[in-house]
Structure 1
Amino acid sequence: MNQNDGSAPLSAKQVAEALTEVFPDLPPALQAAARYIIDNPREVGLQSMRSLAGKASVHPNAFVRLARHIGFEGYEDLRERFRDFLVSDDLGGFGDRARWLQQLAAMGGSSALLGEMAEAVADNLERGFLRQDPKVMEAVCDAILEARMVYVLGVGSAYSLAHQFWYVARMAFGHMTPVPREGSQPIDDLAYIDGQDLLIALTFQPYRSETMAAVRLAKRRGARVVGITDSITSPLAREADDILLCPTSTPQFFQSHAAVTALLESLTALLVGRAGEEARARIEAFHRERWEAGIYEENPKLGALG
């Protein structure tokens, strides 16, 4: 859908779909505006165009041009499609949460900072789970279970996330390996990847070129790629066969990975559930060996990390 259709999207969801469709062909300023609308739909209804422009680091006119590009007369017509986000209170306890955050803000100082972080993390978790399609996650799990080898790739801030996912999942599944290994580049550890294998890749703004180079290598070799990223507009989302989106918004200079961690933990739980008793038996054996080797101070319960 674009300005040549003579029609405008009828809902917030359709606005996001239209922006996603035209995103690759937009100039940089309009891409930044489109990405902010797609990733922050609640704020579109709450914030002024000038405020959104400041957060997206673009001139306010970028939002006007963007609205016209997908068939609206102006930005206010686009904004009307997001009014439902203002009245929705379907999360349970939202009003109490809002009052608590307001109290922290009024206290100022560290309390206000903690309130800002709490709001960002809670919103990321909420949106992260709402974005997930159980059918997609089931398909990803089945692909992981069927693959000969599963490579789990993350560099920079995504390294610890990828490593933690591998560290937990390897208790039940011996065909997973982290990438990169110490002293390697990601593409070094994917030298023998092929169509029987699967690559799980994580990258978030600003997207890492090493990760994308590894993804493109895997695609050329015929491997299936599962992308975990923060926006449908990210280069990983455009390359991956399967996409799991997770917001990382924060009022600070760093990204919040709380929602990504929750997504990976959920994916691990689904994997074990779909693998059945064999996976549970492996986890029990893994912990029993550690307990008998004196690694644990306490006898672990099933599923404890160690």
Structure 2
Amino acid sequence: MQEHSPTSLDEVNQALAACYAELSPQLKLAANYVLEQPMEIAFQSIRKSATAAQVTPSTLMRLAKRLGFDSYEQFREIFQSAVQSGPIELSGRASSLKALANTDDQVFLDVGDTAFDNIGRLFTADTQAKVREAAERMLAAGKVAVVGFRDTFACAYHFAYVGRIAMPNIQLIRGQEGGLLTELAPFGEGDLVVAIGFDPYCAETVRALEITRANGVEAIVITDTLRSPLVPGAAVTFNIATATPHFFPSILSAITLIEAILAECVAYGPEALVDNVTTFESRMRALGAYVELE
């Protein structure tokens, strides 16, 4: 076992080349697959990668430990970082889906495997500490702007809609009809912006961060890699998994993270937040916004 684990895909490849001759036949099969199929290692579950490599999942785990990693997830993160740092070819993803449909692999199960993996990577001690920090910053902020355009607008809308029920100081930034600067102008020191964006990164989201940063607004960023253009200057950065066989980055981890942050705000915020939720629910029911079950 190496004294220190590799920190890049190139170092992984070099380490495998250096120890290859000493590996058992099964570990050599695993190493061959790792060297030849880095994309699959990045996005597939350990079970699917092991099946494709014609080894057992425990063999892939032994190979990761041989290279100095404490777990297979740490090993796979090297591949995910390398893959996510490059541009995503949406047309290529779509073509891959068509190819999957013509094999014994099932698209439905592939999506499920990856979804569980993405969520599993989210719930770590490091992320838990950052969720608490993000919640504390939100609770201390005067106003909170939420930014996410195109594919991440659903995340931003969910964050703002659910968040405003307990915290009325949260505002969704829509940026429609050239109104981005006007919407962001009221935010300054003591305020906070939550920005969500994955590769391919939206120019409007980057611009929104530039505007708020210039006004002294702190940023919480939810993105897919530390190389993201949204990261520089952020007070808190969440680097989450967006892997999927689908042709666009998955937002599942982002939605789950959003719910964790908002739950933390209510759990550790003032009692007034609970009162706000109660008042909102009562008002909606009084207005006939919900259909009751009989």
Q: What is the CA–CA distance in structure 2 between the aligned matches of 1:214 and 1:276, rounded to whole Å?
A: 30
Q: Please tell me whether residue 112 in structure 1 is matched to residue 98 in structure 2.
A: no
Are the aligned partners of 1:140 and 1:226 in contact in 2 as well (CA < 8 Å)? yes
CA distance in 2, matches of 1:201, 1:87: 26
Say if 1:199 and 1:226, in contact at 8 Å, map to a contact too: yes
Counterpart residue identity of residue 197, structure 1: D
Question: Can you give the 5+ residue segments of structure 2 that lack an aligned partner in the other structure?
Answer: 14-29, 43-62, 76-100
Report the counterpart of residue 72 of structure 2 in structure 1: 85
Per-residue CA shift, 1:121-166, capped at 9, x if unaligned? 1111111222743232222111111111100000011111101111
Which residue of the other structure, out of 35, 43, 48, is the alignment partner of 1:49?
35
Cα distance, 1:87 vs structure 2: 11
With over 3 angstroms needed to count, the CA separation of the structure-2 counterparts of 1:135 and 1:291, relative to structure 1, is same
SS of equivalent residue, structure 1 residue 216: helix
Contact preservation (8 Å) 1:45, 1:86: no
Are residue 196 (structure 1) and residue 190 (structure 2) matched? yes
Secondary structure (helix, strand or coil) at the match of 1:196 reads coil
Q: 2:79 is matched with which residue?
A: none
Match of 1:208 among 196, 202, 212: 202
How far 1:269 sits from its partner (Å)?
Answer: 0.4
- Aligned mate of 1:240, from 214, 219, 234: 234
Residues 296/87 of structure 1: CA separation in 2 closer, same or farther (3 Å cut):
closer
Q: CA RMSD in A?
A: 3.4
Output aligned runs, 1:32-71, within 5 Å: 47-52=33-38
SS at match of 2:121: helix
The equivalent residue for 1:291 is 285
**Do the aligned partners of 2:64 and 2:72 also contact (CA within 8 Å) in 1?**
no
**Residue 55 and residue 269 in structure 1: after superposition, are their counterparts in 2 closer, same or farther (change >3 A)?**
same
Runs of 4+ in 1 over 4 A off after TM superposition: 44-47, 53-56, 76-79, 107-111
Preserved contact between residue 34 and residue 41 of structure 2 (Cα < 8 Å): no
CA distance in 2 between counterparts of 1:211 and 1:136 reads 22
Alignment of structure 1 residues 113-132 onto 2, 5 Å: 113-130=107-124, 132=126
Q: Which has the higher contact order (CA 8 A, sep 6+)?
A: 2
Letter in 2 for 1:215: L
In structure 1, the residue matched to 2:83 is none
Map Cα deviations across residues 170-210 of structure 1 (whole Å, 9 max, x no partner).
Answer: 01111110012543443331123211211100000111121
Secondary structure at 1:122 match in 2: helix
Say if 2:65 and 2:71, in contact at 8 Å, map to a contact too: no
Q: Which amino acid aligns with 2:37?
A: S
Residue 262 of structure 1, CA deviation = 0.6
Sequence identity (%): 24
Give the superposition deviation at 1:277. Answer: 2.0
Instruction: Tell me what 1:160 maps to.
Output: 154
Q: TM-score, normalised by structure 1?
A: 0.66
Distance 1:86 1:243 in 2: 20
